[in-house]
Structure 1
Amino acid sequence: MSGNRSRLPVAIVAGPHADARRAAVEEILRTVPGSVALHHDLTSAVDGAVHRTVRDARGPLSGGDAPLVNDCACCALREDLVPELLRLADQGEHRLAVVELWDSVEPQAMAAVVAGVGAPLVLTGVATAVDPALVLPYLSNGDDLIEVGLAAAPTDQRTVGDTFARQLEYPTVIAVVEGGSCGDDVECADETDRALLDQLTPGARKVPVTSGELGAALLAGFDADAGAARVHPACALLPQECDEHGVSTLVWRGERPFHPGRLYAALEDLTCAAVRSRGRFWLADRPDVLLSWDAAGGALCVESAGPWLAALPDAAWEMVPAERRLAVSMDWHPEHGDRCQYLTFTSPGLDRDGLSAVLDSCLLTDEEYAAGRDRWTQLSHAFDELLDPVTP
């Protein structure tokens, strides 16, 4: 049977705003003849299974349950998704398969699954459906997913805010649904809401669901490798400097390393200064380690993203993705190489001057910098509780 499979374009639609997501999927089914949608509902995972539905514009076509894999609903989704897509390809009747992800499922992981299969599946688009009026409340939500019934596994430690941020920043298309949340509790989107969405998603095309263009946008093609590079800490496409409709983005750069003790003492103020901040940075006591900064909803995640390219032997550069090599070649420092401070902060009412002053104060002073690298590595290892201890 596999030799007779027809090429099947696949598009992914993600997002925690269920009404917006469903509206986007329904619009695709209505405007793309021969399209079909798959959805795995993870709310039933507490009963040991994930429920799957397949539908087209006329209604349900089939359904079923996928058992949990290692007590993980997302794992069950991955195990069940590919066979279902291949079954649809075998039928040879569909122009597009739309994978509608559940509320907290992030599109990057599912895009990698689909792209990794290869023929006959062809990943042609990834979108997150968004109601602009809900961007700020969702980004500001520091609740753990497990507390609000949206965890994909018992060990899921993500929060609502950081999950939504990644759902926004990975796709090349933002499906905008406005008006569905207007009511007594939530106001309609205003210019501030739209400015926040625009500043957070600089590389994504905004497509109103009512425009009739969403289906075509999701058939245009999608490069999963480029998508991964777009959000990788080493070469991420970060927001640009902006100040519009009460929303600001501060792009802060520095050449010197941070003093680990002073930066650690300022973490709470820096994390709460903006609804979303991210980027890459380096610490004086870990001069060869590229560190990622990822904050939303008042919660900060600091992780090692591997070595800076300047810390690698020349022979290892060939193993580094071309996107990263190109990115560092544009901004190479004669002494530090690609080591840099590159952080962005986006928020309504951002205190740009105050934030810059705090960040500047965390850099090494002239005297500390002049002491040299051997002395830097002897500074207090204040980030040990967030990162692995420094190797002596």
Structure 2
Amino acid sequence: METEVVLVAGLADHDVAEEVWRASPGSVLVRHDLRDLAQGVVRRWVDGELTVLEPAHGCISCTLRLDLLPLLERLGGRVVVQLDPALEPEAVCFALREVDVRVDAVVTVIDAGTWLADATGEETLADRGLDAAEGDERTVAQVVVGQAEFADAIVLTGAGADPVLDAVLDRLNPRAPRLDRRALDVTALLAAIPDDARRGRFDDGFGALLHGQPLLEPAHGVAVVHFVERRPFHPMRLHEALDVLFDGVVRTRGRVWVASQPDAALWLESAGGGLNVGNLGPWLAAVDDWSGVPAERRAVASATWDPYYGDRSQELVVITASASVEEITAALRGALVTDEELALADELEFVDPFAEWHDEMEEL
């Protein structure tokens, strides 16, 4: 029997997973506690029955692969999983690709009184005592923003209505229905999820960045910067310009290319004071055989193809809470190569901090 899963995520204290479980007769409730993972201990409850596990390797991926995935396959039917606060649902859904499990919905619980401060802060999970394993350097912002962004539905707890928070969520995840915990109707919330919601799916980084057609007009100090340019960034100037993305910014995500790596599409993603840079793979302009490339990506590349740049381009979406749109745009535009640098790009030897950064990421 295929397993149908509802994942409930969030840093806030809540009993929403139990509410979802009660609203699903015959379902099983699974909870994980990873607070002692670094000491080699994982606590897991299945319908209230506690099991203490001692994984051979104290890491999140091993816990998912060796415990949660086989457990879900074994249970079958409908399962409600309350994720440990430090877990991001996108990482869990990525792992679930390996098993016969279907994600019916991802529900994220947000504390309306603290979420915005968390989402724009620099505090790490370790500062809060929430780091899931030794060497976990993620920030609280990266976790709470990722949890909200990947949600199919959102439940708000804590303080009452906050127009600034609403404006941020309208731009971060515009299609996810939101309900106040005090008026939570689980059946209505799940029914309000759009038919084409993500439900655990993720793209390869080359898809549309403005998911769900978010509002682009500023509201309550919240704004969206959609930065699109063809020419490459100068790697050192881009590195210096990134400072504008850390103060008063909730989320930055998108594709960039730097003059020192003309064939590589880089993925840049930030939340609050946390930043990740990774390699998405080659631009199609550097690929001879497109047969293995998804049809949608081929179509977009062909429609926007430039005789000089091919499909290479910069595209970043920045959601601000208080930062200046003009300052962000000017800093990014100032990091682009000049005409002279572009003409000499093949001859210049650029210092590239992003190449070193990517190597470090691969070692973790």
Output the TM-score relative to the length of structure 2.
0.86
Contact 1:124 1:222 in 2 (8 A): no
Indicate the residue corresponding to 2:30 in structure 1: 38
Structure 2 spans left out of the alignment, 5+ residues: none
Assess, with a 3 A threshold, how the Cα gap between structure 1 residues 108 and 327 changes in structure 2: closer, same or farther: farther
Q: Secondary structure in 2 aligned to 1:269? A: helix
Alignment equivalent of 2:156, drawn from 171, 177, 180 = 177
Which has more radius of gyration? 1
Counting aligned pairs with the same residue, the percent is 36
Alignment equivalent of 1:16, drawn from 11, 29, 34 = 11
Contact 1:146 1:154 in 2 (8 A): no
Rounded to whole Å, the distance in 1 between the matches of 2:44 and 2:25 is 22
How much has 1:85 moved relative to structure 2?
A: 2.5
Counterpart AA for 2:8: V
Deviation above 6 Å: which 4+ runs of structure 1? 218-224
Indicate the residue corresponding to 1:3 in structure 2: none
Alignment equivalent of 1:202, drawn from 140, 150, 174 = 174
Rounded to whole Å, the distance in 2 between the matches of 1:202 and 1:310 is 33
Indicate the residue corresponding to 1:378 in structure 2: 349
2:318 aligned with 1:345, yes or no? Answer: yes
Rounded to whole Å, the distance in 2 between the matches of 1:379 and 1:51 is 49
Rounded to whole Å, the distance in 2 between the matches of 1:127 and 1:290 is 31
Indicate the residue corresponding to 1:242 in structure 2: 217
Counterpart AA for 2:29: A
Alignment equivalent of 2:102, drawn from 117, 122, 133 = 122
Contact 1:49 1:73 in 2 (8 A): no
2:148 aligned with 1:168, yes or no? Answer: yes
Structure 1 spans left out of the alignment, 5+ residues: 1-5, 183-187
Contact 1:133 1:189 in 2 (8 A): no
How much has 1:53 moved relative to structure 2?
A: 0.9
Contact 2:89 2:106 in 1 (8 A): yes
Q: Secondary structure in 2 aligned to 1:133? A: coil
Counterpart AA for 2:169: L
Contact 1:50 1:77 in 2 (8 A): no
Counterpart AA for 2:185: S
How many pairs were matched up?
A: 354
Equivalent residue runs for 1:98-137 within 5 Å: 98-118=80-100, 121-137=101-117
Q: Secondary structure in 2 aligned to 1:277? A: strand
Rounded to whole Å, the distance in 2 between the matches of 1:310 and 1:333 is 10
Rounded to whole Å, the distance in 1 between the matches of 2:333 and 2:70 is 53
Indicate the residue corresponding to 2:51 in structure 1: 64
Equivalent residue runs for 1:330-341 within 5 Å: 330-341=303-314
How much has 1:31 moved relative to structure 2?
A: 2.1
More deviation, 329-338/248-257: 329-338
Q: Secondary structure in 2 aligned to 1:112? A: helix
Q: Secondary structure in 2 aligned to 1:354? A: helix
Counterpart AA for 1:350: A
Contact 2:178 2:189 in 1 (8 A): no
Contact 1:12 1:127 in 2 (8 A): yes
Alignment equivalent of 1:325, drawn from 298, 301, 306 = 298
How much has 1:234 moved relative to structure 2?
A: 2.5
Indicate the residue corresponding to 1:267 in structure 2: 242
More deviation, 197-206/155-164: 197-206
Q: Secondary structure in 2 aligned to 1:244? A: coil
2:127 aligned with 1:153, yes or no? Answer: no
Contact 2:59 2:133 in 1 (8 A): yes
How much has 1:327 moved relative to structure 2?
A: 4.4
Rounded to whole Å, the distance in 2 between the matches of 1:236 and 1:158 is 26
Rounded to whole Å, the distance in 1 between the matches of 2:179 and 2:248 is 30
How much has 1:154 moved relative to structure 2?
A: 0.9
